[in-house]
Amino acid sequence: MQDQNNLIVYCEYEDGKVSDVSLELLTKGRQLATELGVKLEALVIGDKLDGIEKQLFPYGADVVYKVEDKRLYPYTSNPHAAVLINLFREIKPQICLMGATCIGRDLGPRVSSCLHSGLTADCTSLVIGDHNDPKTGKEYQNLLYQIRPAFGGNIVATIVNPDCRPQMATVREGVMKKEILDPNHKGEVVKLRASKYVKDEDFVVEIIDRHIEKSKINIKNSPIIVAGGYGVGSKEGFDLLHQFADVLGAEVGATRAAVDAGWTEHARQVGQTGVTVRPKLYIACGISGQIQHIAGMQDSSIIISINSDPNAPINTIADYVIVGDYAEIVPKLIKYYKKNSK
């Protein structure tokens, strides 16, 4: 079997296309693996995997493991968990990354629990660093710093796993950037027999039919986002933001507080528990700037804050701040934009 102690990314795919979050994690994994001086490996489990490595190699994968069996697609918990658990016991990776998706949230805890490795969910940053245990005085080098907001976003926690392997972390889609390393990069393909890792009794659940409805709201890829927070105050306030967005050709985003209040759909939620976005322009209306929200939009090219509170935390990261009531300012912006864009 392959050499050990590498970094592996569990890759999800649908209809032959690898998911964006997996490609984002390969991009980040390539950076981490280079820093550690180890190989970046990708694991794909399913059916009809011919040529899928062509989607993974450009993002820097050195090795692509393929476990193919028609019973392994679509995803079910037990077989995929069995593959990861038994394969990881064999190749002993030091780090495993997976998307904080429905699949990742189901699969990650099963694998980490069985391997007694620990898991940090919804990381907003991953870096390599050293750690000194204050109790034992022991020093650890080249650990994975798993960074995420904690205690309701009041602190940013850096979590390390000094002794157990693999160090496991999940990351939401959009948190990491997706960048091709080299279109011509080539690696090694390793085909693994499914029967070696999965028993027949693991296939106790059979999916008879699936119905997948794609979201009609796509704020992730919108170049302009007009976002509203709890300060917008009502559903009618969001109607005004929708008017503004229509004029700009933008999408409407929201904070968790606004979504929880029932003023707009969850699909529009930006932040750690929503979507991470990187638009060219982000207009924040009535948003105070809690750490969970900032984690989802801080990489926007230009941030404009419209807020009645001059000391709102979001103003510290905004490029431009308009102090005032959004209900007065937004209609004026709509009026003058229409006037000057004819």
CA dihedral defined by 323, 341, 224, 235, rounded to 10 degrees?
A: 60
Is pLDDT at 1 greater than 70 in this prediction? no
The pLDDT tens digits of the residues spanning 103-129 come to 999 999 999 999 999 899 999 899 999
Any alpha helices (H) in the chain, and if so which ranges? 20-36, 53-56, 77-91, 102-115, 194-197, 235-248, 256-260, 291-294, 326-340
Amino acid at 28: K
pLDDT band at 339 (very low <50, low <70, confident <90, very high): confident
Q: Are 56 and 26 in contact (CB under 8 A)?
A: yes
Q: Are 55 and 26 in contact (CB under 8 A)?
A: no
> 5 or 253: which carries more pLDDT confidence?
253
pLDDT for position 291: 87
3-state secondary structure of 212: coil
Residue 96 has pLDDT above 90, yes or no: yes
Q: Show the tokens assigned to 233.
A: 């105050």
**Is residue 265 predicted with pLDDT exceeding 60?**
yes
State residue 3's pLDDT score.
67
Could you give the angle at the alpha carbon of 278 between the alpha carbons of 222 and 319, nearest 5°? 110
Look up residue 14 and give its two tokens: 């649908």
Model confidence, pTM: 0.83
| Partners of 99 in the β-ladder | 171
120 vs 109: CA distance, rounded Å: 9
Is the per-residue pLDDT at 281 higher than 90?
A: yes
Q: What are phi and psi of 320, to 5 degrees?
A: -135, 140
How does residue 342 score in pLDDT terms, banded at 50, 70 and 90? low
With 90 as the cut, is the pLDDT of residue 232 above it? yes
The mean pLDDT value for 231-242 works out to 94
What is the mean pLDDT of the segment spanning 80-89? 95
- Please, what sign has the CA dihedral across residues 290, 296, 297, 298? positive
Residue 243: is its pLDDT beyond 60? yes
Phi, psi at 52, each rounded to 5°: -65, -25
Alpha carbons 337 and 190: distance in angstroms, whole number: 57
When pLDDT is cut at 50, 70 and 90, the band that residue 2 belongs to is: low
Confidence class for position 191, pLDDT limits 50, 70, 90 = very high
Computed over every residue of the chain, the mean pLDDT equals: 92
Burial of 313 (0-12, 13-18, 19+ CB in 10 A): middle
Instruction: Name residues whose C-beta falls within 8 Å of residue 208's C-beta, 6 or more positions apart in sequence.
Output: none
Query: Domains in the chain and their CATH numbers?
Result: 7-202 (3.40.50.620), 224-340 (3.40.50.1220)
Give the phi and the psi of residue 193 in degrees, each rounded to 5.
Answer: -75, 125
Residue 62's pLDDT is: 96
Q: Which whole number is the average pLDDT over 181-205?
A: 92
Band of residue 227 on the pLDDT scale cut at 50, 70, 90: very high
CA angle 17/20/26 to nearest 5° reads: 105
Tell me the HSE value of 200 on the side-chain side, using a 13 A CA sphere.
Answer: 0
Q: Which pLDDT score, from 0 to 100, does residue 217 have?
A: 84
Question: What's the average model confidence in pLDDT over 288-304?
Answer: 92
**Residues of the chain with pLDDT > 90: what percent?**
79
d(CA 112, CA 172): 18
| pLDDT for the residue 282 | 97
The 10s digit of each residue's pLDDT in 32-55 is: 999 999 999 999 999 999 999 999
What is the average pLDDT across 146-155? Answer: 80
Buried-state track 198-237, b at ≥16 Cβ within 10 A, e below 16: beeebeeeeeeeeeeeeeeeebbebebbbbbbbbbbeeeb
Q: Which pLDDT value is given to residue 72?
A: 93
pLDDT at 197: 93
- 2 versus 85: the higher-pLDDT residue is 85
Examine the pLDDT at 308 and tell me if it is beyond 60.
Answer: yes
Give dist(CA 59, CA 17) in Å, integer: 14
Give the residue with greater pLDDT, 291 vs 253: 253
pLDDT more than 70, % of the chain: 98
